[in-house]
Amino acid sequence: MIGITHIPFSRYGAYLAVTRDEGKNGAGDAKELVIQCARRRFEESPLFSLTFGGEAPEDFTCSAVPELLTVDNQKGSARIWIRDDDTVVIDSRGLDFRLNQIHWGYGAETGERTFRFISGVRSLFSSIAVPCGYPVLDGPADNMGRNRKTNLSVTCEDGRILMAVTVRPRGPKEISLPIRPEEEIAAARGEWEAFLALMPSESGSDPETAEFARLTWYNLWSCFVRADGCYPNDTMLMAKKFMTSTWSWDHCFNALAMADLGDRTMAKQIALHQFSAPFYLQTEQGVLPDMWNPDVETRWGTTKPPIHGWCFGKLMDRFDFTEEELKTVYGWLEKWTGWWMEYSDTDHDGIPDYPQGCDSGWDNSTLFDLGFFLETPDLPAFLILQMRTLARISGQLGNAERERYWLKQASALTARFLEHSWDGEGFVAKLSGTHEYDAHPTSLLSLMPLVLGDLLPEEIFGKLADRLESDFLTENGPATEMPVSEKYNPDGYWCGPIWAPTTYLIVDGLRRGGREELAKTVAERYCVMSARKAKGNYENFDALTGLGRRAPGYTWAASVYMLLHREYGC
């Protein structure tokens, strides 16, 4: 069963999802369902509330499997499913209900039992058809007393209601009738079962772990949206509630998870689509957007860390790429590397900097308490790996000159980085220009050069791994702030909680650096935390309790779980 307070109910390709909040007692007991539109992000994604009963909403229970959400109370039951990319259908037996547009807009009856709502805030058009049931359009009133008619009350006709809601930007979409419930539900089930068959094989998992892995696989499947706007390919969102967009490092972990599909041809195609997502928006200077979605916003002014060379190197370990594919990716990574080395080295000392925390992905890490334009130790590490991937691609393309060039650039950056940022006991972050630094950083960000693995001198790698184990590793995984630090906050975003991407980067670096047992320990703790304590994939996790924090149904957490579950059998 799918808990829709943790994972929104949706399906592959759909821009709509149905969720339920925790309610007063924190157990998924809110008296309404919410229809989310993944074309909008954050507080703009909830579009409709759905309550059962009359004007006073009634309690209900709900349960979900991948193809169907079922609502029950003592008066009857309702089936809800996602018909296609833009349409949700409700088939009620005995339950009257109300559909209310959440934000400002207006509606009208457009024909017999058909309606159109327009959301002015969200710039969305909703078409509604009620083939069975008695619909009544009413308020609320605006501040001038005019009836906006965005609430639809529907009562049963011969004990039944059948209603479809289609949501689209850029103009309304007509609803195709008739509705064929059994065929449509069966089609959704078939799509899910086909994707489930592609799930990486697992062995030795106990029933609880195996069930959580299947739920996590559903989390990934249901977060895909269809190619549209600036999404040239079907793309996995970070979530279909709240975080309904794509960010320029999150997608890398989703690409790696999709690389493990049972069908290797499909795995390569889907993984490459996820990896390439931000590069279609790359500027001539080489920078990638911070985030984007197909209809509303592409955000510039901040970006995300250059883990893309690391990611593509891991994809090269799994697949053979064509010459054309390698040339395309080479061009992307060359420009992306150039952006950091040419345009984000404020003091021109050969060590690039992040203007502020969001560019690093660690928005409020305590490392950035020092100030803006900070030369943090993770950034050169990622660029060294990216340069080595550029060298590897050059070698496969038969360009020995460029291969030597990039290996030389990686070696030179490694030497500058160690001289600049290693103080004998640990890595420090320095303000660009003044090179002022905190000699005793308490953020895990200072340990992220672990991702270099055996590319670091053995003594330096050993000191980092030992400090990770002694100062940051909790029973759930690596905290992003030392738990003994006065700046530690259990729900402090990057000031304490465990995050999936940094966990996987660390595990990968530990493994390549020869600390296999520590890598396994970190992996196992993350998996147990996700499956047994949080019981879901969240944006981040409380480092001490293991409970989920912030956005639920978050795909990079789901992807990292699937990767570690496969790699370590945990």
Percent of the chain past pLDDT 90, that is, above it, reads 91
Q: What pLDDT is recorded for position 167?
A: 97
Binning pLDDT at 50, 70 and 90, where does residue 204 land?
A: low
Nearest to 501 by CA among 162, 253, 257: 253
In the chain, count H helices and then E strands: 13, 25
Q: What pLDDT is recorded for position 41?
A: 87
Q: What pLDDT is recorded for position 137?
A: 95
Is 103 exposed, middle or buried (CB count within 10 Å of its CB: 0-12, 13-18, 19+)?
middle
What six digits make up the tokens of 550? Answer: 């912030």
Give the C-alpha separation, 541 to 218, whole Å. 20
H/E stretch holding 16 reads: strand 16-19
Residue range 414-426: mean pLDDT, rounded: 97
What six digits make up the tokens of 569? Answer: 């059998």
Binning pLDDT at 50, 70 and 90, where does residue 118 land?
A: very high
Q: What pLDDT is recorded for position 54?
A: 77
> φ, ψ for residue 49 (rounded to 5)?
-100, 145
**Structural domain boundaries of the chain?**
16-190, 198-568
Give the C-alpha separation, 253 to 236, whole Å. 11
Q: What pLDDT is recorded for position 1?
A: 85
Local structure of residue 347 (DSSP, 8 states): T
CATH of 16-190, one of 3.30.2320.20, 2.30.30.240, 2.70.98.10, 2.40.50.140: 2.70.98.10
- pLDDT over 90 (residue 477): yes
- pLDDT over 80 (residue 191): yes
- SS3 for 23-69 is CCCCCCCCCCEEEEECCCCHHHCEEEEEEECCCCCCCCEEEEECCEE
Binning pLDDT at 50, 70 and 90, where does residue 17 land?
A: very high
Tell me the per-residue pLDDT of 227-257, one tens digit each, with 9 for 90 and over.
Answer: 999 999 999 999 999 999 999 999 999 999 9
Give the C-alpha separation, 317 to 320, whole Å. 8
Tell me the per-residue pLDDT of 270-317, one tens digit each, with 9 for 90 and over.
Answer: 999 999 999 999 999 999 999 999 887 899 999 999 999 999 999 999
Binning pLDDT at 50, 70 and 90, where does residue 141 land?
A: confident
Q: What pLDDT is recorded for position 28?
A: 76
Q: What pLDDT is recorded for position 314?
A: 98
Q: What pLDDT is recorded for position 470?
A: 98
Tell me the per-residue pLDDT of 535-550, one tens digit each, with 9 for 90 and over.
Answer: 999 999 999 999 999 9
Give the C-alpha separation, 564 to 209, whole Å. 13
Binning pLDDT at 50, 70 and 90, where does residue 512 land?
A: very high
Percent of the chain past pLDDT 70, that is, above it, reads 99
Domains 16-190 and 198-568 share a fold: no
Contact between residue 340 and residue 306 where contact means Cβ atoms under 8 Å apart: yes
Q: How many CA atoms lie within 13 A of 291 on its CB side?
A: 17
User: Which amino acid is residue 6, in one-letter code?
Assistant: H
Binning pLDDT at 50, 70 and 90, where does residue 122 land?
A: confident
Per-residue burial over 185-217, b if 16 or more Cβ lie within 10 Å, else e, is: bebbbebbeebeebbbeeeeeeeebeebbebbb
Nearest to 125 by CA among 78, 65, 175, 185: 175
Local structure of residue 200 (DSSP, 8 states): P
Q: What pLDDT is recorded for position 25?
A: 72
Fold of the domain spanning 198-568? Glycosyltransferase (1.50.10)
Residue range 35-59: mean pLDDT, rounded: 92
Give the C-alpha separation, 95 to 72, whole Å. 9
Binning pLDDT at 50, 70 and 90, where does residue 26 land?
A: confident
Tell me the per-residue pLDDT of 438-464, one tens digit each, with 9 for 90 and over.
Answer: 999 999 999 999 999 999 999 999 999
Q: What pLDDT is recorded for position 96?
A: 97
- pLDDT over 80 (residue 24): no
- pLDDT over 70 (residue 203): no
Phi-psi group of 35: left, alpha or beta (phi > 0 → left; psi -120 to 50 → alpha; rest → beta): beta
- pLDDT over 70 (residue 430): yes
